[in-house]
Amino acid sequence: MLQKRSNKHFFQGALILTLAGIVSKILSAGYRIPLQNITGDVGFYIYQQIYPFLGMAMMLSLYGLPTAISKLIAEKTEGGRKKLLTSDFYRIATVLFLFSIGVAVLLFVFAPNIAQIMGDLSLIIPLRTASFVFLVIPFVSSVRGLFQGYNNMIPTAFSQMVEQLIRVLLIIGFSLYVIQQSKPFYYIGIGGAVASLVGALGASLILFIFLKKEQVTFQQAGNATIRWSESVRSVLGFGLVITINHMLLLLFQFVDAFTLVSELKIYGYSLTDAKIWKGIFDRGQPLVQLGIVIGSSLALALIPTITMDRFKKQERQFISYIRSSWKFSLYLSTGAAVGLITLFPHVNELLFLSNSGTRTLQVLAFTIIFASLSITTASILQGFGYMYRTAWFVLIGVGFKLLLNILLVPLLGVLGGALATVIGAAVVLMVNIHRLKMVVQERIIDVPWIRLLSSIAGMVFILFLINQSIFPFIIQESRMLYAVYLLLAIVAGASVYVILLIKFRAFTKEELEVLPFQKIVRRIAKENNYGRKY
């Protein structure tokens, strides 16, 4: 029988879900590098045109809808009732089914119009194939939401990892088949959609097994306690808001999918060249995504318990948590972005086998800083109950991205698209910070900027020395040797950066205590000299 879990089980499950999310994000970012290597920039462009729709389906079934359903289930089963009414669950499932059918039909029917807006009518069949992925959403979302409503996060975490693994393996395998058999490149888009569909079916199978294992039953008697209007409002309304909050980068990719090729044609490229440059521009997406995972994961781990009630009771302590979360996100994202920018000529050559678009991708890397800080700040606001407000802030940033794409890409090419992404993310960050200051009414950004910049300068100097002294001796024809060199450079740069942050007292004493490898940290810090905050 499915029972409500204890707080201990809840936080253990939440940790598992967080770790599964990080692993899945790394997989989601990492597979696109071999995908580009296999299919080239044109094949990668085709996949990236379809990916925003696949990503939306995944976000809905993983974050938005299950969270909304779990919240509704938790509310309806409180007060001693351990089971959900069958009629209530059927209403939730029916709303999801009608919504998913509607989205799938709209995407299938309007695929020619969407492809025309994208400037590439050959995308019609891949788009129509992608529409079928939405049909799996009702079962996956409702079962994940059911388990999460009873504080059991393990089925969601496990099914998420299985779904992502199946999807990654199939898209890579299908891409190899397309290239080896000399099939048209647009089969790659179809293969990506099929891989997502099979991955979602795999997740459904895992969830079905958990349903049988847990012997889930419903309370049969009683009239439905959830009204139809409540189902629509609580499940779809709140679920879409949560999804938007998780889709900052994905929505930026939507804008690029719809505007970049057509605007590049205005810039002066032929359709073929515009596709190639869109593929080159999309090289930056997996690297930016990995940087954001690095920049936001540790900070988000510090703030899972922030609520408005607790903030009012322990205001000073929670302001300290918020400041530290923001600072950790800034340090990690800045280090990742600057390190990537410094090494990008080599990273581009190693991962994508050419230096095309290096300057544009270096500009795009600044998105790591603004997006990581936006996610951290928005997560704090969401803890305070500003879920709808942060979703609007994301849409404001997307609006800026759309406007700037239209204005800048015809003038600057893909560099304009990169600038539009960076500015859009910066706008989201600014409005989030403004709202957080209004809520907390105290200074949130408490960063020793000189010490941070000095640490960054030290890291860049070390990377410059490594590039000048070691790189000339690297045999560039050996990709493995190139990878080893870059890995050592990254480790050296990151180590110097962290050591300098500690040496320059960029952390408070309390913040040092949450860092890993405490023996090494204490030795570097020399605690007798680390008594004051700054």
pTM of this structure? 0.84
Q: Is residue 183 part of a domain?
A: yes
> What separation, in Å, do the N-terminal and C-terminal C-alpha atoms of the chain show?
54
Question: Residue 534: is its pLDDT beyond 70?
Answer: no
Contact 146, 73 (CB under 8 A): yes
Question: Residue 26: is its pLDDT beyond 80?
Answer: no
Q: Is residue 465 part of a domain?
A: yes
Q: Is residue 156 part of a domain?
A: yes
* Local structure of residue 232 (DSSP, 8 states): I
What is the crossing angle of helices 248-267 and 284-301, to 10°? 160
Q: Among 266-275, 486-495, 520-529, which stretch is predicted with the lowest mean pLDDT?
A: 520-529
Range of the domain at 506: 449-529
User: Would you state the structure tokens that stand for residue 240, as one six-digit string?
Assistant: 């879409």
Q: CA-to-CA distance for 304 and 322, rounded, in angstroms?
A: 11
pLDDT tens for each residue of 110-130: 999 999 999 889 999 999 999
Question: Residue 197: is its pLDDT beyond 90?
Answer: yes
Among all chains, which residue has been given the structure tokens 């060249």? 273
Q: For residue 312, what pLDDT is reported? A: 61
pLDDT category at 147 given cuts 50, 70, 90 is: confident
Among all chains, which residue has been given the structure tokens 């950790």? 328
Q: Is residue 499 part of a domain?
A: yes
Segment 389-402 shows an average pLDDT of 94
Segment 398-410 shows an average pLDDT of 96
**Last-in-domain residue among 246, 265, 282:** 246
Bigger pLDDT: 407 vs 155: 407
Hey, is 418 helix, strand or coil? Answer: helix
- Structural domains counted in the chain: 2
The H-or-E segment that residue 106 falls in is helix 86-109
Q: Is residue 77 part of a domain?
A: yes
Q: CA-to-CA distance for 405 and 399, rounded, in angstroms?
A: 10
Q: Among 43-57, 193-207, 399-413, 507-521, which stretch is predicted with the lowest mean pLDDT?
A: 507-521
Q: At CA 47, angle to CA 31 and CA 260, rounded to 5?
A: 120
Contact 192, 58 (CB under 8 A): no
Q: Is residue 444 part of a domain?
A: no
Q: For residue 335, what pLDDT is reported? A: 93
Question: Residue 1: is its pLDDT beyond 50?
Answer: no
Q: For residue 4, what pLDDT is reported? A: 44
Q: Is residue 522 part of a domain?
A: yes
Contact 377, 431 (CB under 8 A): no
Q: Is residue 233 part of a domain?
A: yes
Q: CA-to-CA distance for 359 and 415, rounded, in angstroms?
A: 8
Q: CA-to-CA distance for 50 and 253, rounded, in angstroms?
A: 10
Q: Which of 181, 197, 173, 179 is nearest to 50 (CA)?
A: 197
Q: CA-to-CA distance for 161 and 23, rounded, in angstroms?
A: 8
Handedness of CA 370, 394, 171, 352 (dihedral sign): negative
Q: For residue 3, what pLDDT is reported? A: 45
User: Would you state the structure tokens that stand for residue 165, as one six-digit string?
Assistant: 């693994």
Residue 85's DSSP bridge partners are 219
**Last-in-domain residue among 196, 221, 246:** 246
**Last-in-domain residue among 217, 246, 275:** 246
